[in-house]
Chains A and B, each alone.
Chain A
């Protein structure tokens, strides 16, 4: 749809990073319109995981993750609507952070689901992510959902010790859905945290099981509307032949969008339709509020929440692409933070089956990025998983 489209303006995050002296090397591959968890929906063909080129790098920011993992660039940006920074970071052995909703301006990001989208950094370490976030975050009057708050130094607490840190372990994140290798690595990481002076406490997010279904109502609903502008009229793909206006719309969109994008537009159109709106969209919004309320309760008992980023390590190409629901479930642990607007990050915490990296997810309270980064950095001072790189690159 946008193969030859060159934006005549820069996104806020691009302006900010350029202003901080960063050099943009180029654009990276991703799932089409950020809709995918494996990079297999990319119009340009899938990105391969540098740890094992038979496996997916995760998605949707799979190109960003693979480029950093392959040491082609020290850092990359990604966008995260349901896990699109954290899941590929986990699958590629990186540190990636999705900020609190409203911390980073969405101006210039192609919207997937406006109420969930956030841009964030992907790099080797928490310290790099903190430095990148210092440049990327901040109020932007061009995004009405950007929050006007004083500028923060996200590196300020990095060197603070973790003694007294209360880590919440959601019962629902440590159930049956997680593979054994992922569980082993995550539990080892939590043991390491206890050694560093943190305490762990079991918390509950009782509605988290509803996060995937609620997300797959809200995100497609917003996407179906956000993607309406790609109509072949002003820019982007237009079908070469058509009979009239409606035919031009139908053919341009049928030919210009991939299957996953069309699936989500159809779902979104359906849930917003007359007669279905209350049953789907409104109900999903109610669930969203319940999910946020669960986190409010949980954060009464802890400072950060930890658990797996993804239920499995990177899977083989084709393993889930035939079953969209299986694919959607790979974001089961990341989606609830987007629905609640919370910050979340993933950092490497070991290796699992096939020598593939495992990601530990840290979820902070609203605007708790500095606390999250502190926890990640202190762990990375004690463990060196984040410094490992694929054998074939050495």
Chain B
């Protein structure tokens, strides 16, 4: 592989979370009966006209700000002309020569997503542009007795098409970029990220070349709607291109589809069949003008971005880079963390992060629940962690309380500790009394310890803890026992 360099650029269509369509007042909700969310504009009756949805523009501005791009003060909607039954006007309103978002970039971490010990490689993927356009409807090729059905509910749904420079060098980098973008668009609230429903779809332009050589001819893999398929499709495509070239055949520019069942890509159309889209500025729409005031207004309503948050968590709470990345993996995760820290205090931030990544993540994972559905609210977890911090309970008891909170046995850690009598015993007199009893009833262990068996000490600690049903402060038990045994 090393004698070949892989070059990948991605184009992503993110459906924007507006209530209505980009050029009409119809709802954009997913899953309605066919064609009930298609009005006169969406089905392109004679005489209807498009009116731009301001919210879609707000989404584009948010995205531009989030990736450090230029928000064009004046951008132009253009018509992309082609015939297809799910394209009612015979053209798609898009942006061509002057897109609304120009440039920018996205930082990605490659190779560390699932492994805290791996060294993540930081990389910046440059963005070429992002532009607003309308989605097409859907052609339904089944269940119509040999005919095709057309559902125009999706026609006119706002899309942001986000295009990268050919900056990625492996399927892993492409997936890392797609994941980072997927997280970002959800983070800033412009896309629901639902890949099954087609809210976030990627096309990958893939070519191979000799390192340092000119760019190879690319083939575009269309409509990748899962990260796993993206990885498989690119890996297959790369190997296929290398084989072709090695066997002396030149790569022809083409559009290909990935078949998840066979794990292969196959050509859909070649360059010769490519459409001439006859783009021209849409005379029904004025140029989109975005002034500094509008940008400032949108900016003031933007959440803190993950990277800024990671840096802040590192500086303010001493979280490691890995921990900071995990707790900012999604907006809801970060929100949970921030709420818990606000409640339990910054001094407990590291413990909170550990609990979120450990106990909570495991439990959520087991129940296949997103963090926003967690039965333990951020403030409840914060209450639990405060009781660990102030020595009311030990870590081990805390796990019991966590379990009880998860099962709804109480509304707060304090209530459960109180009700179930889990408060840690820290009175040295009481602990001493228990230790004396343990020493008296476990003479054998005492002798073993005295004769040099270190393990016997642990057995005695265990007995003392058992006698208090785990409530004794383990450190105090250890200290007192050592004193008694003269160790």
Contacts and interface: CB of A to CB of B under 8 A. Distances in A.
Interface of A: 2, 5, 7-9, 11, 106-111, 113-115, 141-145, 221-222, 224-225, 227-231, 233-235, 245, 249, 269, 272-274, 277, 281
B46 A142 contact: no
Interface string B348-361: 00000000000000
B278 A144 contact: no
B276 A144 contact: no
B112 interface: no
A229 B47 CA distance: 11
Contact of B49 (A142, A225, A272): A142
A289 to B, nearest CB: 14
B46 A2 contact: yes
10 contacts: A111-B47, A115-B283, A144-B52, A228-B89, A234-B43, A234-B44, A234-B88, A234-B150, A269-B278, A272-B280
A228 B83 contact: yes
A273 B40 contact: no
Nearest to B46: A110
B250 interface: no
Main secondary structure of the interface of B (DSSP, over half): loop
B44 A229 contact: yes
B280 A225 contact: yes
B283 A235 contact: no
A9 B79 CA distance: 25
A225 B81 contact: yes
Contacts, number: 90
Contacts of A235: 45
A114 B51 CA distance: 14
Given A107-B47, A225-B90, A229-B88, 17 more contacts: A8-B45, A11-B47, A108-B47, A115-B283, A143-B49, A144-B284, A145-B284, A145-B285, A224-B278, A227-B90, A228-B89, A228-B90, A229-B46, A230-B46, A231-B90, A234-B43, A235-B45
Given A225-B278, A272-B278, A273-B278, A144 B286 contact: yes
A144 B285 contact: yes
Interface in B32-70: 40, 43-52
Interface of B: 40, 43-52, 79, 81, 83, 85, 88-91, 150, 276, 278-280, 283-286
Given A114-B283, A229-B88, A231-B90, A8 B40 contact: yes
B37 to A, nearest CB: 15
A103 to B, nearest CB: 15
Contacts of B279: 272
Given A114-B284, A225-B278, A228-B81, A233 B150 contact: yes
Contact of B50 (A108, A144, A222, A272): A144
A334 B48 CA distance: 26
A341 B81 CA distance: 26
Contacts of B44: 229, 234
B140 to A, nearest CB: 14
B278 A222 contact: no
Nearest to B38: A234
Contacts of B49: 106-107, 142-144
B276 A109 contact: no
Contacts of A110: 46-47
A2 B52 CA distance: 28
A135 to B, nearest CB: 19
B280 A277 contact: yes
Nearest to A33: B46
A142 B45 contact: no
A106 B283 CA distance: 12
